[in-house]
Structure 1
Amino acid sequence: MPAAAPTWDPAQYLRHAGHRARPFADLLARVPEPPGGAPRIADLGCGPGNVTRFLADRWPAARITGYDNSPEMLDKAHVDHQGPTEGGGRLDFAHADVRTWAPAEPYDLIVSNATLQWVPEHAERFADWVAGLKPAGTFAFQVPGNFDAPSHRLMREIAGSPRWRDRLAGVLRHADAVLAPEAYLERLTSLGCVADVWETTYVHLLEGGDPVLDWVQGTGLRPVLTALADEPEARTEFQAEYGAALREAYPAGPHGTPFPFRRVFAVARKRG
């Protein structure tokens, strides 16, 4: 049986909003200006809408729709960000499953921030999304490239241990959740795009007790927390075991806990 879709907690996710937002800002810095003054933009996997807002800040006249399949995230986005923008554009949010979403109208920009790693075989969707771009339109995304990092490796090792494997078998993603940068470049150029693909490792300096555990509880650990939602004692035990392993893997320094985080970026412009 497939694992249940993770349940999301916007408040937990936003606890590290500044660090999480930086890769999206870096991605947008490489996105070319769409032709015309009022672009049509889709944000796939918008979450609570905090970085979708960056799109409205850069293109105030744009019509922007953020899509997500989490009711909790969409509720937060609607309350905090939906409505007209200062430049005469509009920011809206709608329910959609990125696994099946296809453009119903031509877009100037389709963008996705830290979402496609949750979509199995997401590169197979690129052809439909590029086809939905206007001539000279852009498809841009960034995904975590840290599935071999201790944060994810330890999570999988503990979930696969005798204590947990019966409850958590098949719940977590593996290193093949994202492709290598070279593979993304090949996929996008084969679709007729001019593509720019790169990777960056950020070293976030996290504060507080168990900050890496606090980080992953907002993202990568959500499938485990969802699977154990009806067993609060087991959930607490898993967090304690995993937290101890994270403290050893990511020791605190005098100014905080360094947390290296690799990400993969792509900006693909459709030929006009």
Structure 2
Amino acid sequence: MPAVPVWDPHQYLRHADHRGRAFVDLLARVPEPPGGPAPRIADLGCGPGNVTTLLAERWPAARITGYDNSPDMLERARKLAGPTSGGGRLDFAHADAVHWAPDPAAPYDLLISNALLQWVPGHTDRFADWIAGLAPGGTFAFQVPGNFDAPSHALLRELTGSPRWRQRLDGVLRHGDAVREPAQYLAALAALGCEVDAWETTYLHVLGGDDAVLDWITGTTLRPVLAAFDGDPEERDAFLDEYRIALRRAYPAAAHGTVLPFRRIFVVARRS
């Protein structure tokens, strides 16, 4: 059975500026909610809450709830909870996107999700429940990484499937089809009666420091692998040394930093 990732807010936030950029770009395409000056907003997979606060900046009178299934992330996020500048409220609560659904009797004006759905198997099957939990004219918006074919992920799959690590790490990683293509998301949501805007962007993140790509991946993709090595630091370090060498070859450092190309997929679906 795959190891359950243990999230580290501090490690995740080491690249907060780069990670948050996609949320800002997504938010720029979200239309005004139908709920007037005080819309109800859900941030599904809020993590440490750093980007959830951007929702309060745009809609200071909104009633915003950030949901996550990581106790460590929620502990960090709850430090940001409280009244907002326009008389709204920012709160955080535990929820697992695999099972969570809005109450149709108390619909949201905006459901937004940032880099979560790749962790939710069969997440397109959840779309109908989530759209049903939106007010008429409400919006479901999300972004997911589209880089599962990138060297960072291909090398990791190759390494975990090698003779030395195959038995211990079999089934730990997500499959390459953890996300769909933009056209597939568009078709799925259009079939639910939504007006859909879907696109993709490849960012060229310039990272500083030694082994910058490994440091980035340690905050996200590597979490299940690290969990599988829990209690065995020698084997963990041996695995990381192999992976580090492969990443250095694939992403050579330059005087200006290490360039990490990162493709992301964006979708904004408005309920008719």
Q: Which residue of 2 aligns with 1:250?
A: 251
TM-score by length of 1: 0.98
Q: Unaligned stretches of 5+ in structure 1?
A: none
- Residues 27-47 of structure 1: per-residue CA shift (max 9 Å, x gap): 000000012110100001000
| Shift in Å, 1:137 | 0.1
| Shift in Å, 1:174 | 2.0
Q: Which residue of 1 aligns with 2:10?
A: 11
Q: Which residue of 1 aligns with 2:146?
A: 145
C-alpha distance in 1, partners of 2:239/2:264?
Answer: 27
C-alpha distance in 1, partners of 2:150/2:89?
Answer: 39
Count matched residues: 269
- Residues 149-204 of structure 1: per-residue CA shift (max 9 Å, x gap): 00111111101101101110000012100001110000010000000000000000
Residue 177 of structure 1 aligns to a residue whose secondary structure is coil
TM-score by length of 2: 0.98
Identity %: 70
Spell out the pairing of 1:211-230 with structure 2 (5 A cutoff).
211-230=212-231
Q: Which residue of 2 aligns with 1:70?
A: 70
Residue 100 of structure 1 aligns to a residue whose secondary structure is coil
Spell out the pairing of 1:230-249 with structure 2 (5 A cutoff).
230-249=231-250
Q: Which residue of 1 aligns with 2:160?
A: 159
C-alpha distance in 2, partners of 1:175/1:54?
Answer: 31
| Shift in Å, 1:230 | 1.4
C-alpha distance in 1, partners of 2:194/2:174?
Answer: 29
- Residues 46-67 of structure 1: per-residue CA shift (max 9 Å, x gap): 0000001110011000000000
Q: Which residue of 2 aligns with 1:94?
A: 93
C-alpha distance in 2, partners of 1:147/1:3?
Answer: 18
C-alpha distance in 2, partners of 1:110/1:118?
Answer: 17
- Residues 57-78 of structure 1: per-residue CA shift (max 9 Å, x gap): 1100000000000000000001
| Shift in Å, 1:251 | 0.5
The code of the aligned residue for 1:152 comes to H
Q: Which residue of 1 aligns with 2:30?
A: 31
C-alpha distance in 2, partners of 1:196/1:5?
Answer: 33
C-alpha distance in 1, partners of 2:135/2:143?
Answer: 21
- Residues 182-227 of structure 1: per-residue CA shift (max 9 Å, x gap): 1000001000000000000000000000000000000001000011
| Shift in Å, 1:3 | 1.1
1:261 matches 2:262: yes
C-alpha distance in 2, partners of 1:165/1:83?
Answer: 47
Task: Say what the alpha-carbon RMSD is for the aligned residues.
Answer: 0.6
C-alpha distance in 1, partners of 2:210/2:230?
Answer: 23
C-alpha distance in 2, partners of 1:174/1:99?
Answer: 17
| Shift in Å, 1:4 | 2.6
Spell out the pairing of 1:109-124 with structure 2 (5 A cutoff).
109-124=110-125
C-alpha distance in 2, partners of 1:203/1:174?
Answer: 24
Q: Which residue of 1 aligns with 2:192?
A: 191
C-alpha distance in 2, partners of 1:110/1:75?
Answer: 22
C-alpha distance in 2, partners of 1:134/1:4?
Answer: 37
C-alpha distance in 2, partners of 1:235/1:55?
Answer: 38
The code of the aligned residue for 1:193 comes to C
Q: Which residue of 2 aligns with 1:61?
A: 61
- Residues 215-244 of structure 1: per-residue CA shift (max 9 Å, x gap): 000000100001101111111111111011
Over 4 Å off, 4+ runs: none
1:52 matches 2:52: yes
